[in-house]
Amino acid sequence: MMEVPRVGHSVSSPTSPCEDMIKNLSLDAIQLCERAGNKSLDSGIAEMEELPVPQNIKISNITCDSFKICWDMDSRSKERITHYFIDLNKKENKNANKFKHKDVPTKLVAKAVPLPMTVRGHWFLSPRTEYTVAVQTASKQGDGDYAVSEWSEIIEFCTADYSTVHLTQLLEKAEVIAGRMLRFSVFYRNQHKEYFDHAREAQNNKMLPSVKDNSGSHGSPISGKLEGIFFCCNTEFNTGKPPQDSPYGRYRFQLPAEELFSPKTNLYFADFYCMYTAYHYVILVIAPKGSSGDEFCKQRLPALDLANNRFMTCSEDEDGRLVFHHAQDLILEVIYTDPVDLSLGTVAEISGHQLMSQSTVNAKKDPSCKTCNISVGR
């Protein structure tokens, strides 16, 4: 474990304007400093050309909240290096709202250790996010000031999705609030009439998988990657039937649950989130065994026991018939990874309302909710 140095003066940045602000946080291996600075205005740092400038920066072992960094250095004055200064910034989005609060640059101050060095921290690294990084070498002087090299070139990289370890943490949090299991018998999908007309006329009477949107956790490994068809299975506890309201359209395709969910399929946990409301959502994936969707999920998502889990089950009764149950206190979003023929069910207009405010299309997760967030990037 590296000793954390004390920083008494500001650290310049290769990319940011000056603000007279610095925060020092003690970490296991690095010190985190959030500020913006300009070398010409930083009185506490002396510039010494003989300190080597980091070259050929390489980023590796990238996860959703960590990465390894290494670089080459000229042997000149290498023994004088006591610290590394790492300037880490979210890459600017040209389409971002110009009135939105700008992310504060992050400065990492680490004692000089053998490379590669691991940088880890969920408080300044988010999954699926593009960053820029530059490095300085520094030599701490007797009076506490630093002599520094020039900044290295700026390198770009992107953090990774949640791993199965992170998803298992989400799964365990979702289990806590899942509630009792209610019986259901059908899956259903609401859409506009034009959607079903197009499926009949242009898609050989089939609903086809499409790429999942960006709703839910920012680190979800299925967003923008997994192809599937969205279904619901929740029922009203007093009737045991699907609700007559829907955010997604006035026409509903409904089919027997065994057409999608059976011992011939695998079931995966994909996400747990909320949208600044009391309702919590769990995303599950049903994939026919051996399908391309199944192979995708096997590598990225925790698998669930079909007959024994807290979210949605398929089991046999005494007569050998399949029986289905869903969690009462969660809204389940079920993704089926193969095409579905409309002949397997029926399409009819619902009698309730189209509640657009409850739509989860591209919905962003509430990062402040303690129920559905884990200690990695949101």
| pLDDT tens digits along 81-94 | 999 999 999 887 55
Looking at residue 109, its pLDDT comes to 87
For residue 116, whether the previous peptide bond is cis, meaning omega lies within 30 degrees of 0, is yes
User: Residue 15: is its pLDDT beyond 70?
Assistant: no
User: Residue 11: is its pLDDT beyond 90?
Assistant: no
Looking at residue 310, its pLDDT comes to 98
User: Residue 344: is its pLDDT beyond 70?
Assistant: yes
What is the identity of the amino acid at 237? F
Q: Tell me how far apart the alpha carbons of residues 91 and 228 are, in angstroms, rounded to a whole number.
A: 31
Q: Tell me how far apart the alpha carbons of residues 104 and 134 are, in angstroms, rounded to a whole number.
A: 16
Q: Tell me how far apart the alpha carbons of residues 324 and 296 are, in angstroms, rounded to a whole number.
A: 25
Q: Tell me how far apart the alpha carbons of residues 67 and 45 are, in angstroms, rounded to a whole number.
A: 28
Q: Write the CA distances from 196 to 209, 211, 231, 294, 361, integer angstroms.
A: 14, 18, 14, 26, 19
User: Residue 204: is its pLDDT beyond 80?
Assistant: yes
| pLDDT tens digits along 134-160 | 999 999 988 888 899 999 999 999 999
Looking at residue 362, its pLDDT comes to 59
**Average pLDDT over every residue of 16-36:** 37
User: Residue 95: is its pLDDT beyond 80?
Assistant: no
| pLDDT tens digits along 262-292 | 999 999 999 999 988 888 999 999 999 999 9
**Higher confidence at residue 103 or residue 66?**
66
**Average pLDDT over every residue of 129-134:** 94
User: Residue 34: is its pLDDT beyond 90?
Assistant: no
Domains identified in the chain and CATH numbers: 25-158 (2.60.40.10), 164-358 (no CATH)
Least confident interval from 39-53, 154-168, 235-249: 39-53
User: Residue 360: is its pLDDT beyond 80?
Assistant: no
Least confident interval from 35-39, 177-181, 203-207: 35-39
Looking at residue 9, its pLDDT comes to 38
**Average pLDDT over every residue of 39-46:** 42
User: Residue 180: is its pLDDT beyond 50?
Assistant: yes
Q: Write the CA distances from 356 to 145, 191, 316, 349, integer angstroms.
A: 59, 12, 37, 16
Q: Tell me how far apart the alpha carbons of residues 221 and 189 are, in angstroms, rounded to a whole number.
A: 23
**Higher confidence at residue 286 or residue 95?**
286
**Higher confidence at residue 82 or residue 5?**
82
**pTM, rounded to two decimals:** 0.79
**Higher confidence at residue 31 or residue 89?**
89
Looking at residue 200, its pLDDT comes to 97
What is the identity of the amino acid at 323? V
Least confident interval from 47-56, 124-133, 196-205: 47-56
**pLDDT, averaged across the chain:** 83
Report the SS3 class of residue 51: coil
| pLDDT tens digits along 293-325 | 999 999 999 999 999 999 999 999 999 999 999
**Higher confidence at residue 28 or residue 369?**
369
Question: What are the start-end ranges of the H helices in the chain?
Answer: 164-176, 193-202, 292-300
User: Residue 18: is its pLDDT beyond 60?
Assistant: no
Q: Report the share of the chain in percent with pLDDT over 90.
A: 59
